[in-house]
């Protein structure tokens, strides 16, 4: 196990990261992903289902993706994958290419250090033709694939939602970009958008990418439960025809707002868990981890400005549940450095009350003798209280000297590190 403190400072975003290389992380368990038939699979060829979150546009909501918020997604939500929605237009990449490259690099490196998969999303939307900025796209993907080719956690999504163009146009674009990526990164999963805002799977199923360009390529599908329940049957049928990754879906209507349909979304979850024509596990990222004034947003409006990443909307509450339930059944690989198991969702520590008024108790669970140190930090990572264990007790008490706000409790064990959030009310 390797532990280190790393500070990333770029583009006005500060990350304080605790590096964890252990059996906890999805990447340490599943390694470099690959396709086996139509199933996303681990490095050792076993089926894998990734569940995680997509950001909103990082040009608008960068304050929702910080070290503390990503720490909560990784250690509390137990995400396997983070999708970084980098809009090309609409105030995105084309306005400052250096800034957005540096920002994406920061997120990729943070995910890599914490063993979580990440999707670099070239967020084509307006205009909907992925060829509209082909020169910039070629340069971006050449740069990103060269920069991150040695990492096992990176997935390339080369066009978010093509619209107003045919599949042949999208396919020609993919056949241009894929060789550029493959010149630098031979193995990474590549996601290709589909027509009609990534909802038309029939066209690529009838005319798929072929030859060398088809290697480790999946097709994306997007839906919004309150608008698109009628599409579930067609989606299910296509799971038997082409490899599919649902890189964006919402509980709301297609605008990202309106009513949410949690019952309908549950039917999609059941399908993703294997109840589909292909019998495959479908990986997904939910739209979106932000505090946007939209019902699809996971965080309550105004949360990010207040650095409150635990107050969730109804959608966020349910999606957080779905990320861990049902329990993930993917089989971990056995690597030369030991056996990795599927225990990263087993929470050893309980903190109560939370939120708290005067102080809180940290119950270290049955394995309390494995604990080396317990720290309480603020949102910038400054240590406020610490307990260095000699004869460790099963329960510890903290918080009496803290002021109102959100804090993090870091439990450093001999074989893992847990990070929990706590909130003091008064």
Rounded to an integer, the average pLDDT of 9-38 is 67
The rounded distance, in Å, linking the Cα atoms of 327 and 412 is: 24
Between 62-71, 74-83, 160-169, 391-400, the lowest mean confidence (pLDDT) is in 391-400
The rounded distance, in Å, linking the Cα atoms of 109 and 123 is: 20
- The model's pTM is 0.77
Q: What is the dihedral of CA 158, 214, 233, 196, to 10 degrees?
A: 40
- What does the pLDDT read at residue 340? 40
pLDDT in tens, 192-201: 999 999 999 9
For residues 116 and 74, the answer to whether their CB atoms sit within 8 Å is yes
CA distances (Å), origin 75, targets 2, 344, 347, 348, 366: 17, 9, 10, 12, 20
- What does the pLDDT read at residue 268? 97
Catalytic residues: 161, 248
Between 257-261, 339-343, 419-423, the lowest mean confidence (pLDDT) is in 339-343
111: helix, strand or coil: helix
Between 33-47, 143-157, 303-317, 394-408, the lowest mean confidence (pLDDT) is in 394-408
Q: Check pLDDT > 80 for residue 65.
A: yes
- What does the pLDDT read at residue 81? 98
- What does the pLDDT read at residue 146? 94
320 closest CA partner among 25, 78, 57, 82: 78
Going along the chain from its start, the domains and CATH numbers come out as: 5-335 (3.20.20.80), 347-424 (2.60.40.3080)
pLDDT in tens, 247-289: 999 999 999 999 999 999 999 999 999 999 999 999 999 999 9
């Amino acid at each position: 196990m390797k532990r280190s403190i790393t500070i990333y400072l770029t583009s006005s975003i500060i990350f304080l990261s605790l590096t964890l290389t252990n059996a906890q992380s999805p990447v340490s368990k599943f390694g470099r992903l690959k396709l086996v038939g139509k199933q996303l699979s681990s490095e050792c060829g076993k089926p894998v289902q990734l569940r995680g979150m997509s950001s909103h546009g990082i040009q608008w909501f960068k304050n929702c993706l910080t070290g503390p918020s990503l720490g909560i997604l990784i250690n509390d939500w137990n995400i396997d994958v983070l999708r970084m929605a980098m809009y090309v237009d609409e105030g995105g990449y084309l306005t400052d290419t250096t800034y957005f490259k540096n920002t994406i690099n920061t997120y990729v490196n943070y995910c890599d250090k914490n063993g979580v998969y990440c999707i670099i999303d070239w967020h084509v939307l307006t205009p909907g033709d992925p060829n509209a900025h082909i020169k910039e796209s070629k340069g971006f993907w050449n740069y990103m694939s060269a920069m991150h080719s040695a990492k096992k956690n990176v997935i390339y999504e080369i066009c978010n939602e093509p619209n107003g163009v045919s599949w042949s146009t999208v396919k020609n674009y993919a056949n241009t970009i894929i060789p550029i990526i493959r010149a630098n990164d031979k193995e990474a999963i590549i996601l290709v958008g589909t027509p009609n805002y990534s909802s038309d799977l029939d066209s690529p199923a009838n005319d798929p990418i072929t030859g060398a360009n088809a290697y480790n390529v999946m097709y994306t599908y997007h839906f919004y439960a309150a608008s698109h329940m009628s599409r579930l049957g067609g989606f299910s049928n296509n799971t038997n025809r082409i490899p599919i990754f649902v890189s964006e879906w919402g509980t709301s209507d297609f605008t990202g707002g309106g009513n949410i349909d949690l019952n309908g979304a549950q039917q999609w979850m059941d399908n993703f868990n294997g109840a589909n024509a292909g019998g495959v596990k479908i990986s997904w990222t939910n739209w979106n981890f932000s505090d946007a004034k939209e019902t699809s947003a996971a965080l309550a409006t105004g949360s990010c400005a207040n650095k409150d990443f635990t107050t969730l909307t109804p959608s966020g509450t349910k999606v957080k549940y779905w990320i861990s339930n049902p329990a993930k059944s993917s089989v971990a690989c056995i690597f030369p450095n030991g056996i990795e198991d599927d225990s990263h969702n087993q929470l050893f520590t309980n903190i109560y009350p939370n939120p708290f008024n005067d102080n809180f108790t940290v119950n270290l669970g049955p394995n309390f003798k494995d604990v080396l140190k317990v720290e309480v930090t603020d949102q910038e990572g400054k240590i406020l209280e610490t307990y260095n264990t000699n004869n460790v007790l099963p329960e510890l008490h903290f918080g009496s000297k803290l002021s109102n706000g959100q804090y993090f409790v870091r439990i450093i064990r001999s074989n893992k590190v847990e990070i929990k959030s706590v909130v003091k009310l008064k």
